[in-house]
Chain A
Amino acid sequence: MGRIIEEIYVWRLPVRLYHWINALCTVALFVTGLYIAAPLFNPPLGEAVWYKGMSWWRYLHFASAFIFVANFLFRMYWAVFGGDKYGRFGGFRPWSPAWWGKPFLEQVESYLFLRSEEPNYVGHNPVAALAHFLFIFCGSSFMIFSGLAMYGENNPGGFNSVWFGWMIPLFGSSYTLHWAHHLMAWIFPIYLIMHLYAVFRHDVVDRTSVTSSIVTGYKHKVEEEPV
């Protein structure tokens, strides 16, 4: 094994906390959301007053939803005001043609096995940044806006219905918004598969200890292939 030649503190505590709270909430939201759509369990016959079968799942969904929202806002705050070199998505400039240029293409080529050496990034590589932007930033924003709009349906004229209710006509009807929220829920397991695969693969190929970095915060540079 190559000797560790450098240890870099990449993910500061707020980023790591964000990551794990987000991961837990996402899993909880996905599971409870699917349950809401298709409640499986049969309660025993009896009086409705004794059971909370559906309320519990909905309660869990909404509780994790609000933690998820707060956590998401916190991460946005940290990116902008945290003064965190690796946590601010500083390199992510999709509006500039230059960003789509060499580094991005090199990373894509590397993923497509078109180049042999792997470009190496301490923070997010450009393809990862794009995936985070599309799945996590856009995806979560959509789930939050549509979720709050549906949440507001309980209380017409209330805060959520006033601030997020416009999502309903935008999507045509309450039903279509439910449907879109349900369909978009599936991007999270898809993301998780790609994400875990990418993390493990980078760890195996580049040996930068990226997997443990999201727990410890440290990435490592190792010596070239030992002979």
Chain B
Amino acid sequence: MQSNQTFADLFRAGGVSRRDFLKFCSLTSVYLGLSPSMVPSIVEAMEKKVRTPVIWLHGLECTCCSESFIRSSHPTIEDLLFNMISLDYDDVLSATAGHQLEDVRRKTMKDYKGKYILAVEGNVSTKDDGVYCMVGGDSFLNTIKETAADAAAIIAWGACASFGCVQNAQPNPSGAAPISDIIKDKPIVKVPGCPPISEVMTGVVTHFHTFGTLPELDRFGRPKAFYNTRIHDKCYRRAFFEAGMFVRSFDDEATRKGWCLYKMGCKGPTTYNSCSKIQWNGGTSFPIGSGHPCIGCSEPNFWDKGPFYTRLAEVPFLGSDSNADKIGVIAVGAAAAGAAAHAAVTAVKKAKAGSEDNDKA
């Protein structure tokens, strides 16, 4: 693998015309939310900069992020981008395996010390020294610490690496922890979603390659360009939400008419992601477009905020039958009962005191 080629070299080698290449650059700038005046910098970076070396590790995960990444169905141009990150190590996609591959990882770490991007898919088992995730003969806990040490930055792909996902849902038997719990001294970009949208993934890489810096992040460490607004804010069913027109069961008239899924437990109002903007599979559709409520897959601990089809979550430590309203009703009932009992005692006391007074008189 020649690792000193630029993106533009590879585009040319892949038979992509200059025109298509420029199109790609402007598309990318749109996805990244950059102004048109930035397009020349993207073009320049793509043409002149040596490809950014990427080490892609897999921990406790299901590989849905990789699946999303490679399935990007936009013009073949995106496949090319996939070929063009200098993906020096990826234990799932590499042809080699075993010691040979581990040597490649170490070599990249040495040759590009402080320059490579560490992309992590999946999270880290921390219980019992991390034995619940062994890759390449070592625990993933050790591997990630070793590989992160010389990285320029870390990209945490997906809900797993960003927040934990299903592995660290209660009761979290393997002590699964998101990357930010393990690595504290490196810049981390969180790209949550189960999986994240492929254009979001390529957009983050392109930003780093172009500007040499991480994209602007929000309070959770997610790129603002893609995670600044909620599904709800850009949802095409929002008009039905505002009108109070809701689907009430999956086989009613409203379902056929495509009304808002709020009452079916839609988590769109509390979920930050780009599904309602960029959509999935090259803009084909997204879950709400297909009539399914958003389950909030890009939000922290979304598995523990179920059930997916009701709006108000259960209170986990109080069993599966409780929610905020039930607690509230019980507490109000208790307050009323307490007041009534107190009133009764007061009345009895008063009556007693009154009769004593009368006796004295």
On A, residues with C-beta under 8 Å from B are: 34, 37-39, 41-43, 45, 48-55, 57, 111, 113, 116, 153-154, 156-157, 165-166, 168-169, 172-176, 178-179, 182-183, 185-186, 189-190, 193-194, 197, 201, 204-205, 225, 227
Contact = CB atoms under 8 A, between A and B. Distances in A.
A52 B343 contact: no
Which 3 A-B pairs give the minimum distances between C-beta atoms? A53-B244, A186-B328, A197-B339
Contacts of A190: 331-332, 335
Contacts of A178: 269-270
Given A54-B244, A185-B328, A193-B336, A45 B345 contact: no
Given A51-B243, A179-B312, A193-B332, A174 B272 contact: yes
A51 B243 CA distance: 5
A43 B16 CA distance: 54
B26 interface: no
A154 B233 contact: yes
A174 B270 contact: yes
Interface residues of B, number: 56
A68 B248 CA distance: 33
B357 interface: yes
Interface in B207-232: 218-220, 224, 228-230
Contacts of B28: none
A39 B269 CA distance: 15
Contacts of B248: 42
Contacts of A156: 218, 224, 228-229
B299 to A, nearest CB: 5
B245 A43 contact: yes
A113 B350 CA distance: 11
B69 to A, nearest CB: 25
A174 B271 CA distance: 7
A166 B219 contact: yes
A48 B271 CA distance: 24
A34 B328 CA distance: 11
Contacts of A168: 219
Main secondary structure of the interface of A (DSSP, over half): helix
B324 A186 contact: yes
Contact of A45 (B239, B253, B336, B361): B253
Contacts of A50: 243
A194 B335 CA distance: 7
Contact of B332 (A48, A153, A186): A186
Given A156-B229, A190-B331, A174 B299 contact: yes
Contacts of B339: 193-194, 197
A175 B296 contact: yes
A48 B262 CA distance: 15
B92 interface: no
Given A113-B345, A190-B335, A53 B245 contact: yes
A43 B335 CA distance: 36
Given A178-B270, A183-B328, A190-B331, A197 B243 contact: no
B361 A179 contact: no
Given A38-B311, A51-B245, A176-B305, 14 more contacts: A34-B325, A37-B311, A37-B325, A39-B244, A41-B244, A52-B242, A55-B244, A57-B244, A169-B220, A174-B272, A175-B302, A189-B335, A190-B331, A194-B339
A157 B248 CA distance: 34
13 contacts: A43-B245, A45-B257, A51-B243, A113-B345, A166-B219, A178-B269, A189-B335, A190-B331, A190-B332, A193-B335, A194-B339, A197-B343, A201-B342
A58 to B, nearest CB: 8
Contacts of B270: 173-175, 178
Nearest to A177: B270
Contacts of B296: 175
Nearest to A183: B324
A172 B311 contact: no
A48 B239 contact: yes
B263, B271, B342 pick with most chain A CB within 10 angstroms:
B342
